[in-house]
Amino acid sequence: MRSEKKCKIIGKIGISKYKKLGELGMKEKIVNFFIFVGLFILSQVPMTVLGIFIGLNSVYKRTFSIVETVAIILVVFVIIGLTMWIAKLLKIAKWRFDYLNKKTIGMIAMGYFACFFISMIGSTVMMIQGQTNTANQGALDQLTKTVPTIVMLLLTVVCAPILEEIAFRGGIIRLLFPNKQLIGGIVSAVCFGLIHSPTDIGSFIIYGGLGAVLATLFIKTKRIEVNISLHILWNAVAFGLMLLTT
């Protein structure tokens, strides 16, 4: 009952019924912006906690303990659960498997190959620039050497896809640009590219391009679950390859 009341309140304040951007009052726009900021902050919590543990271990010259591993896993699941709950209240997600059908599976497959093609373009540009790896990927490679594999698996394959899609696709496109989704998609792609710390044109093409594919998928399907599925697939393959090469 309380959840239903909260959902109705958020629906009145926010844009859960696809209200046009021009119809939103200043109060609604401000509220939606701070909701997005909140979603973004939540998406950064797991990696921030991981960074704190890494810093402490570096100072005291120790490796990850079982207690630290369990603590990070608990943080990951709490943040994922909280973010998914908020997404459902905001009607960003339904969390039902009815989105899986021949059409969406085909779109996920096409989205994956589009991401692969864009990555090849970005990698080629990086090679021309004399770069062999993105800064983001380099950081992940280093983390796999010190952080337990189970933690990295949860963070990259489960946590990041769910939290990032809710924040960047649900938060930006659905909340901030409900009636100007093309603009929202562009903003979402650019922000997604920048958050992955690109250091050159090639790496921005890779991450900005991935963001563009994911934004297009969300605009077409209106189901964040489809986005999360593609994001999980992409990260899972990348994570597997990273384990094989490090």
The predicted structure's pLDDT at residue 245: 81
Band of residue 224 on the pLDDT scale cut at 50, 70, 90: very high
In the chain, the number of structural domains is 1
The predicted structure's pLDDT at residue 5: 52
- The answer to the question of residue 76 being in a domain is yes
Calculate mean pLDDT across residues 218-236: 97
B/e letters for 26-43, b = 16+ CB within 10 Å, e = fewer, are eebeebbeebbeebbebb
- The answer to the question of residue 37 being in a domain is yes
- The answer to the question of residue 127 being in a domain is yes
- The answer to the question of residue 163 being in a domain is yes
The predicted structure's pLDDT at residue 70: 96
The predicted structure's pLDDT at residue 21: 43
| Dist CA 138 CA 196 (whole Å) | 11
The predicted structure's pLDDT at residue 26: 82
Q: Which residues contact 128 (CB under 8 A, 6 or more apart)?
A: 202
Whether 211 contacts 173, CB under 8 Å: no
Digit-coded pLDDT (tens) for 13-50: 444 444 444 466 788 889 999 999 999 999 999 999 99
- The answer to the question of residue 98 being in a domain is no
Give yes or no for residue 10 having a pLDDT over 60. no
- The answer to the question of residue 85 being in a domain is yes
Domain that holds residue 200: 2-14+22-93+103-245
| Dist CA 44 CA 173 (whole Å) | 19
Digit-coded pLDDT (tens) for 102-149: 999 999 999 999 999 999 999 999 999 998 889 999 899 889 889 999
Least confident of 72-76, 214-218, 240-244: 240-244
